[in-house]
């Protein structure tokens, strides 16, 4: 039985077709994967289902009844819930308060009764969690459980999961997939948006692939392979990257010694971190998100002032130099985690974003005056070189897909000819084709003799691209492994509080 049926759904934004007569069916009590490159139309489709957009044509049926919703509230009332990639929780409220937030009843809400019902639901689903814990005290995995409880508490039968494992560590991902299997056993239906094919083949029953707004294929998981699905997504076979040659012994480019720093709330986020990277080497930093990785990258690039320690580039201390001086004098390039808020200005054009880091300098300017024609020509060259798919260099960056936005940032940073390239979560939310392009650029920088600090929560990425792998937990480096000695199990062990305790007892 088809619980969700979508027939001929189309959506246009101006002259851009985001969805072109999309049709798919999702069976009751199944986990149905929705895959596609960035810009394929997945987000538009989900936003229509959840009432954030209205389709131009086509129809949707839920439980064999016509569905047309105009708001998330109406979607929830229809039995459809969404687990967002970025959690929609209030940090200073408790689990219970977040779950019942927005329910009707106002001051007449009976908290004791809601608390009892929430505990019963939590135990039934296996999401055991203290209803009185504030959200800010919870790990990413526990916060995601709260999001699931919020939806289930509203009696939804169809869950849309948008990149649900992107903020989870390896152990949390395994636990999350077990939760999905439990929900399927309870008869819940799930639409699972992800770019992680291993997860799709572990828990999903069927897959639909979108490319450029159209459905290019459906398949039962039992009857297909990861290679076939990847081919549907990008329209070609992915090229397996060559094995990294042995690590060279170049000079030390980056030396970090006993570095400590606070986070934005004034709480210590880095504690005595020491590491070094040589020319022609990629040092990967693994760890569950929020364990000091962002503060490390920001301290090195000059965006955060350390409380202690020393950072040197080619033997010269960076103390007293701001981010702009570090970029131009010390040739440090930075690909930030959040491409929207810190990597790009979304309402600027491609060519304006291309010159952001050096708009007062050659080749973008002469005597402090911006040369728009030259900058536009440079941007066109970069778009060809890095396969940035765009209509014109004058278009706003917000209308590029996530993968093309990321390739523009990489082009800008790499073309500055850095000695050190710092990249933070470079493949977050990208499809397999964009990931392939990003990692190819990193490998080329390594071959060119650059030092690369590659920070990611994705172990597959880290292990594929790194010469050595450092692991962070609670603001400390709990171990640095050679690539040949690194296993998922060993890295997972170093991500735990037990590894931090071992450091303290040494």
Which tens digits make up the pLDDT trace of 4-53? 999 999 998 877 788 999 999 999 999 999 988 767 888 889 889 999 89
pLDDT level of residue 232 (50, 70, 90 thresholds) = confident
Using alpha carbons only, give the angle 499, 504, 506 rounded to the nearest 5 degrees: 95
Q: What is the DSSP letter of 52?
A: S
Question: In the 3-class helix/strand/coil scheme, how is 207-268 assigned residue by residue?
Answer: EEEEECCEEEEEEEHHHCCHHHHHHHHHCCCCCCCCCCCCCCCCCEEEEEEEEEEECCCCCE
Residues 6+ apart with CB under 8 A from 264: none
Please give the Cα distance from 68 to 62 (Å, whole number): 10
> What is the side-by-side strand order in the sheet with 206-211?
80-83, 158-162, 189-193, 31-36, 206-211, 214-220
> Which has more pLDDT, 142 or 241?
142
pLDDT level of residue 125 (50, 70, 90 thresholds) = confident
* pLDDT at 105 > cutoff 80: no
Which tens digits make up the pLDDT trace of 358-410? 887 888 888 888 889 999 999 999 999 888 888 889 999 988 877 789 889 99
* pLDDT at 418 > cutoff 90: yes
Residue 68, pLDDT score: 87
User: What backbone phi and psi angles, to 5 degrees, belong to 358?
Assistant: -155, 40
CA-nearest of 200, 184, 107, 116 to 148 is 184
- The fold of 251-346+417-504 is Rossmann fold (3.40.50)
pLDDT level of residue 88 (50, 70, 90 thresholds) = confident
DSSP notation for 343-377: I--TTSBHHHHHTTTTTTSTTTEETTEE-HHHHHH
* pLDDT at 124 > cutoff 60: yes
| Intrachain domains 2-234 and 251-346+417-504 with the same fold | yes
Mean pLDDT of 442-448: 92
> Looking at domain 2-234, which of 3.40.50.300, 2.60.40.10, 3.40.50.720, 3.30.565.10 is its CATH number?
3.40.50.300
pLDDT level of residue 505 (50, 70, 90 thresholds) = very low
Percent of all residues in the chain with a pLDDT value above 70, rounded to a whole number: 92
Helix (H) or strand (E) holding 62: strand 57-62
* Mean confidence (pLDDT) of the chain: 88
Yes or no: say if 40 and 11 are a contact pair by the CB < 8 Å rule.
Answer: no
Any idea which of 2-11, 48-57, 123-132, 149-158 has the lowest mean pLDDT? 123-132
Please give the Cα distance from 439 to 464 (Å, whole number): 9
Boundaries of every domain in the chain:
2-234, 251-346+417-504
Please give the Cα distance from 200 to 204 (Å, whole number): 5
* pLDDT at 144 > cutoff 80: yes
User: What backbone phi and psi angles, to 5 degrees, belong to 150?
Assistant: -55, -45
* Token pair belonging to 369: 């005056």
* pLDDT at 85 > cutoff 50: yes
Residue 500, pLDDT score: 60
* pLDDT at 413 > cutoff 60: yes
* Token pair belonging to 303: 């965006």
Q: Report the relative pairing of strands 158-162 and 189-193 from DSSP bridges.
A: parallel
Mean pLDDT of 205-218: 91
pLDDT level of residue 416 (50, 70, 90 thresholds) = very high
Residue 299, pLDDT score: 97
Please give the Cα distance from 314 to 176 (Å, whole number): 44
CA-nearest of 73, 89, 179, 9 to 190 is 179
> Which has more pLDDT, 176 or 281?
281
Residue 80, pLDDT score: 92
pTM reported for the whole predicted model: 0.68
Residue 365, pLDDT score: 85
Mean pLDDT of 407-428: 92
Q: Quick check: bond before 154 cis, omega within 30?
A: no
């Amino acid at each position: 039985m088809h619980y969700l049926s979508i027939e001929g759904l189309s959506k246009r934004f101006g002259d851009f077709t985001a969805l072109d007569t999309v049709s798919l069916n999702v069976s009751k009590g199944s986990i149905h994967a929705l895959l596609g490159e960035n810009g394929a139309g997945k987000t538009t489709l989900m936003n229509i289902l959840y009432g954030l957009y209205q389709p131009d044509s086509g129809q949707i049926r839920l439980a064999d009844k016509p569905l047309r919703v105009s708001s998330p509230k109406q979607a929830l009332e229809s039995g459809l819930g969404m687990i967002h990639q970025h959690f929609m929780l209030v940090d200073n409220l408790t689990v219970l308060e977040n779950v019942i937030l927005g329910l009707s009843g106002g001051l007449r809400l009976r908290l004791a009764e809601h608390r009892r019902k929430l505990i019963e639901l939590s135990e039934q689903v296996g999401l055991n969690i203290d209803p009185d814990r504030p959200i800010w005290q919870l790990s990413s995995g526990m916060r995601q459980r709260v999001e699931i409880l919020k939806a289930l508490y509203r009696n939804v039968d169809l869950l849309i999961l948008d990149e649900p494992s992107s903020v989870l560590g390896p152990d949390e991902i395994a636990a999350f997939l077990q939760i999905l299997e439990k929900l399927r056993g309870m008869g819940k239906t799930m639409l699972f948006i992800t770019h992680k094919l291993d997860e799709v083949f572990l828990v999903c029953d069927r897959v639909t692939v979108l490319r450029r707004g159209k459905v290019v294929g459906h398949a039962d998981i039992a009857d297909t392979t990861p290679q076939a699905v990847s081919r549907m997504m990008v329209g070609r076979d992915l090229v397996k990257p060559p094995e990294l040659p042995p690590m060279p012994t170049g000079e030390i480019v980056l030396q970090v010694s006993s570095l400590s720093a606070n986070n934005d709330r004034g709480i210590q986020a880095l504690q005595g971190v020491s590491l070094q990277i040589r020319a022609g080497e990629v040092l990967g930093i693994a760890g569950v998100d929020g364990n000091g990785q962002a503060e490390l990258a920001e301290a090195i690039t000059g965006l955060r002032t350390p409380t202690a320690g020393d950072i040197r580039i080619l033997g010269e201390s960076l103390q007293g130099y701001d981010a702009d001086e570090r970029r131009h004098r010390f040739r440090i390039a930075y690909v930030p985690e959040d491409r929207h808020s810190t990597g790009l200005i979304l309402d600027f054009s491609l060519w304006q974003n291309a010159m952001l880091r050096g708009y007062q300098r050659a080749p973008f300017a002469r005597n402090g005056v911006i040369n728009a024609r030259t900058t536009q020509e440079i941007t066109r060259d970069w778009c060809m070189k890095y396969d940035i798919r765009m209509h014109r260099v004058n278009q706003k960056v917000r209308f590029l897909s996530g993968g093309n936005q990321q390739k523009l940032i990489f082009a800008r940073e790499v073309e500055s000819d850095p000695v050190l390239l710092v990249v933070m979560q470079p493949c977050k939310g990208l499809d397999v084709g964009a990931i392939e392009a990003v990692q190819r650029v990193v490998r080329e920088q390594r071959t060119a003799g650059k030092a690369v600090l590659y920070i990611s929560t994705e172990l597959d990425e880290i292990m594929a691209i790194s010469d050595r792998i450092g692991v962070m937990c609670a603001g400390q480096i709990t171990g640095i492994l050679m690539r040949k000695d690194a296993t998922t199990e060993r890295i997972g062990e170093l991500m735990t509080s037990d590894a931090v305790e071992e450091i303290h007892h040494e």
